Structure 1
Amino acid sequence: MRTFLILSSVFGTLVLLAILESFSSAGEEANVSGNFGAAIPGLNTGQLATFEFGRSIFKKSFTRREGLGPHFNATSCASCHEDPVEGGSSQHYRDFFLAGRLNQEGILEKIYPDCTEFNAPSQRTECCLPSMVIPHYGPRGDNENPVASGVEHPSLSQADVVAIRNAPPMFGLGLFRLVSDEEILSRADPQDANGDGISGRINRIEDENNQIGRFGYKCQTASIEAFNRGALNNQMGITSNSIEFAMGPAQDEKPFLDELFEIKTAYAQVAAPMDELTDYDGVQDPELSRGELIALVFFQENLAAPRRGRITSSVRQGESVFLQLGCTSCHTASLNTRIGKIHPYTDLLLHDMGPELADGIIMKQALGNEFRTQPLWGLCEHSPFLHDGRAATVRDAILLHGGEAERARNAYAELNQRDTLMLHRFLESL
């Protein structure tokens, strides 16, 4: 029997929940899979209620009266993470942009456009969410029904780096917090010491206690809390304060809680990383309560991993092809966690993906041509593929691999028809 402490909140009242579940020991299989959008197995009635409360926040469409804006390109988390259910990926119509300007040292800087067109004090330029380019949305319309403003955002003319992002699925995401640093570092080879052409490396996040980044296309944040605060602020203009824990009767449990919910935010994600956020839109900050943020994080931390499809002889043959191509050098078949093995098919490391996929966006230590190995579990239930959604099919995505993956890509392109079919059946089973 293993005990894991989870912090939860229902309507602002903090409670400590001990999840008592007969998880497997490290090295055995973890019981963490389920239907898309379901909770991981083992949550009790109260925990499931908190999970569903978090889901309701995830699906909630915010209004101007509740803090939406001054800039936004969605009104809810589920607006983008919707396919096949809430917590999933998005189609192209929900793609968004990142933009910046390279300084003389080659470092990507944010752009701080004039806010006067959005009825905000021009000296308060942080209200304009400088990491985002949102060309057509602003705080027009009434409080309950904000609409597209038609005002062109001034950032684009100042930017020399512009990139597109497609929202990734979130199923099983919280399990990456249970992968130890040692497990990730054991696969890192930044200098390619073994000469295999693969040189995965970590992204350390100084603003998050120098932890190893696990989340985002560039491993740019170490916690789901930080990523959430950034997405809420950048995508919807919803402000929140970082979750902090008062010392009290449960003070001995605080280290466990800090491990799950970080108290710092990611600089690449939010406008004010070390401070409470404010956006000067006339709504009192924070616009998302502490209890709502905790429930939202709880929901995402506890989304079940995708359930594996039926393993047929064709799937096993395809897995052999996957191994022979060298795909597992990055798309690692399993990771050890504190509750057993999981199978996301990622090493949680950054890799050079070549000039074709490079977008110039630098996040922390991640360069413009580097991306985290994207997990493959649940692959059959979402498209498009890649960080910018440019690949409509799995084949398209593989053929766009370059850099460290070039050798595997070329080998894939030379496969005969039967081996290609078997490989695709394997990928569809994940």
Structure 2
Amino acid sequence: MTRLKLLLALGAVLVTSSPLFAQFVVDDETVARGRELFVHQWEPGDKLSPNGDGLGPLYNATSCAACHSQGGVGGSGSEDHNAQMLAIVPEPGQLNKRTIKSFLNRLKTMHPEFVDSEGRYYTGILLHRYSTTPEYAEVHEKVTTPLDETIASRTRIRRMLNRRGISEVSLLPLKLVIHDHDMQYALAERNPPQLFGTHLIATMISDAEIEAIARQQMQSNNGVSGRFTGRFGWRGQLEDLDLFVKGACAAEVGLQVQEMNQSKDPLKPDYQLKGTDLTAEQTNQLVAFVRSLPRPEQVMPEDPNERSYVNQGAVLFDAIGCAECHVRDVGQVEGVFSDFLLHDMGSEFEDPIPAKKVKATEVTAGMTMPTYYGSEPIRYTETFYTVEEQNHYKEYRTPPLWGVADSAPYLHDGRATTLRAAIEWHGGEALASTSNFARLSEREQVAILKFLETLKAPQVTEEATNPIAGNESSEPGDQKISGIPSGTIKAVAVRK
């Protein structure tokens, strides 16, 4: 019996035993076609999307596997495949009835995704690295260049430092970029997560089991206190796995599906695809492949002394408090090492886009990109949260550690290249555990690292090879984006 058939047999048993578990009944051929779509190198006007426009117009990669290949097809991605987010950094009291119209117009000029059809704005939007429009490369470069140092910019930065209680500019966590018409922007990044075992996370853990962990953490002596928003995404912004996959198609590759529109091209804001790039059948095949990805495994060393050392590391991992958030077993999923809760990770993790609860993740046709990435629409009458008023700017979902040995770099933006660095970066609610780790002897610290190095990607996964026959295109090198000075996206194109 194949691995897939075993998984399906297990799913059939679970479906009959409890309403919690979603049915997952597909054949090997459906999964195989989904894998072909996952590794396919998409092109503009692609033959596999006769009712759409194929790749783009905005995209971060030409295939799903380009960003999800570490440890095998479906793994995590390198830092150069991070998704970039462009966000406004609000000033207190910025908006009122007199200024809101001008404010919204300036946001729309910067990028049409900032303002929706109902006149609501988003604090952050996805800023794609590539475009099928040649002029986009220069524009993206200008928008993403670090902020020039001037008297005015130093004044603004000093104000930001004072509001955050920071004395040195080098400690300001925000990556400030352009300042346009009295509006300051910043960049945020998201590292591609691994997709192994996501079907188990979606179907074998109940909300009640996650919320029970949150209630237990309220009794923590280490200041750990998580809140539940969703199982998927660095901000826990989505609860529905199928929608998470469909959103990635539209957001990362520019493949419009029924439930999710592709992003608007800021240089062609009036362009709107009427059909879809993926049919319902293709979308279902792609989802089936992702759901078929096996769970990561713990691979213990054969040497008895090394095994003993790893076991000591596992005990120390629990003893210093890491297991409060990286819970080993949740629901019926063993060895996942996550609580799927949001936690305040400290001031060095401050992000320009706050994490909030996304209340609705049901499938609705034409869902927009900012919602997929967790940025919620705001009306000008609502309070603009500041750093002093809440910690949502520093909250992140605890990532599952299964497969962590094969998923570097680490943390939400890939800032940590090693497991040791990832531990040492932890702050906020994890500060007690980080301090405990620092007080361990070198041998004890290495024991924990050795333990984490046994949490491997699935051993049966394959390399990202063999794209669909007849399509051997690679990443369009002449459209690759870099990064440079200020100006809005439309204005830069007009000047050119």
Q: Same fold (TM over 0.5)?
A: yes
2:343 aligns to what?
Answer: 351
Q: Which residue in 2 is equivalent to 1:197?
A: 223
Q: CA 1:281–1:86 in 2, change beyond 3 Å: closer, same or farther?
A: farther
The answer to whether 1:81 aligns with 2:68 is yes
User: Take 1:105 and 1:305, find their aligned partners in 2: how far apart are those partners?
Assistant: 48
**2:131 equivalent to 1:138:** yes
- Offset of 1:230 from its aligned partner? 2.2
Bigger drift between 176-185 and 159-168 goes to 159-168
Q: Which has the higher strand share?
A: 1
- SS at structure 1 position matched to 2:318: helix
Mapped to 2, the partners of 1:170 and 1:54 lie a distance apart of: 14
Residue 188 in structure 1 maps to residue 178 in structure 2: no
In the TM superposition, what whole-angstrom CA distance separates every residue of 1:119-170 from its partner, at most 9, and x where no partner exists? xxxx9x99xxx71113x522147xxxxx974333758635534211111111
Q: Gaps (5+ residues) in structure 2?
A: 16-23, 46-52, 96-103, 145-176, 302-306, 358-390, 456-496
Deviations 1:168-212, CA, capped at 9 Å, x for gaps: 111111211121011101001498345441101111xxxxxxxxx
User: Which letter maps to 2:242?
Assistant: E
Indicate if the aligned counterparts of 2:87 and 2:188 stay in contact, CA closer than 8 A: no
Residues paired across the two proteins, number: 341
State the 1:285 CA deviation. Answer: 1.8
Structure-2 residue corresponding to 1:331: 326
Of the candidates 356, 369, 385, which is equivalent to residue 364 of structure 1? Answer: 356
Secondary structure of the residue that 1:98 maps to in structure 2? Answer: strand
Aligned to 2:32: 52
Q: Structure 2: which amino acid aligns with 1:86?
A: V
Write the distance in 2 (CA, Å) between the matches of 1:171 and 1:160: 34
| Aligned counterparts of 1:200 and 1:377: Cα–Cα separation in 2 | 20
Equivalent residue, structure 2, for 1:19: 8
Alpha-carbon shift at residue 319 of structure 1 (Å): 0.8
Distance 2:452 2:210 in 1: 23
| Inter-partner Cα distance in structure 2 for 1:227 and 1:323 | 31
Give 1:314's aligned residue: 309
Residues 303 and 421 (structure 1 numbering): CA distance in 2 closer, same or farther, change over 3 Å? same
Q: Which residue pairs with 1:417 in the alignment?
A: 442
Query: 1:77-156 counterparts in 2 under 5 A?
Result: 77-102=64-89, 111-113=107-109, 131-134=125-128, 137-140=130-133, 149-152=137-140
CA distance in 2, matches of 1:399, 1:196: 17
1:297 aligns with: 287
Question: Which residue type is aligned with residue 389 of structure 1?
Answer: G
Letter in 2 for 1:137: Y
1:68 is the counterpart of 2:55: yes
Normalised by the length of structure 2, the TM-score is: 0.61
Structure 1 residues 185 and 280, CA gap change in structure 2 (3 angstroms): same
What CA distance in whole angstroms lies between the structure 1 residues aligned with 2:289 and 2:313? 34
Q: Cα deviation per residue 1:231-290 (whole Å; 9 max; x = unaligned)?
A: 222222211013xxxxxxxxxxxxxxxxxxxxxx7xxx9769xxxxxx965755211111
- Supply the distance in 2 between the matched residues of 1:154 and 1:421 (Cα, whole angstroms): 42
The answer on whether the counterparts of 1:99 and 1:159 sit within 8 Å (CA) in structure 2 is no
- Counterpart CA distance in 2 for 1:191 and 1:113 is 45
Q: Percent identity?
A: 31
Name which one, 1 or 2, has greater alpha-carbon Rg.
Answer: 2
Contact 1:138 1:151 in 2 (8 A): no
Distance change in 2, residues 1:22/1:177 (3 Å): closer
Distance (Å, rounded) in 2 between the aligned partners of 1:415 and 1:426: 15
Report the Cα distance in structure 2 between the residues aligned to 1:86 and 1:398, rounded to whole angstroms.
Answer: 26
- Give the conservation status (yes or no) of the 8 Å contact 1:95–1:164: yes
Q: Encode CA deviations 1:14-54: one digit per residue, 9 max, x unaligned.
A: xxxx933399989xxxxxxxxxxxxxxxx99x622211211
AA aligned opposite 2:240: S
Distance change (3 Å), C-alpha of 1:342 and 1:105: farther
Match of 1:255 in 2: none
Q: Specify whether residues 25 and 310 from structure 1 end up closer, same or farther in structure 2 by C-alpha distance, changes over 3 A only.
A: farther
Specify the SS of the correspondent of 1:163.
strand
What SS class does the counterpart of residue 162 from structure 1 fall into? strand
Q: Is the 8 A contact 1:69 1:281 kept in 2?
A: no
Superposed CA offset, 1:325-366 (max 9, x none): 0111000010123xxx42110011111111112213224339
More relative contact order, 1 or 2 (CA 8 Å, 6+ apart): 2
Question: 1-side partners of 2:199 and 2:109: how far apart?
Answer: 35
Contiguous gaps of at least 5 residues in structure 1: 1-5, 7-17, 27-42, 117-122, 142-146, 204-212, 243-264, 273-278
User: Which has a greater percent of helix?
Assistant: 2
Match of 1:235 in 2: 252
Describe the SS at the equivalent of 2:340.
coil
Name the Cα RMSD after superposition.
3.7
- Letter of the 1:301 counterpart: R
1:133 partner amino acid: L
Q: 2:254 touches 2:262 (CA, 8 Å); kept in 1?
A: no
Counterpart in the other structure of 2:361? none
Equivalent residue number for residue 421 of structure 2: 396
106 and 383 in structure 1: CA distance in 2 versus 1, 3 angstrom threshold:
farther
What residue identity is the alignment partner of 1:239?
A: Q
Q: Say if 1:111 and 1:236 are closer, same or farther in 2 by CA, change over 3 A.
A: farther
Q: Is the 8 A contact 1:189 1:198 kept in 2?
A: no
Q: Give per-residue Cα distances to partners, 1:391-427, cap 9 Å, x unaligned.
A: 0110100000001100000110111022112111111
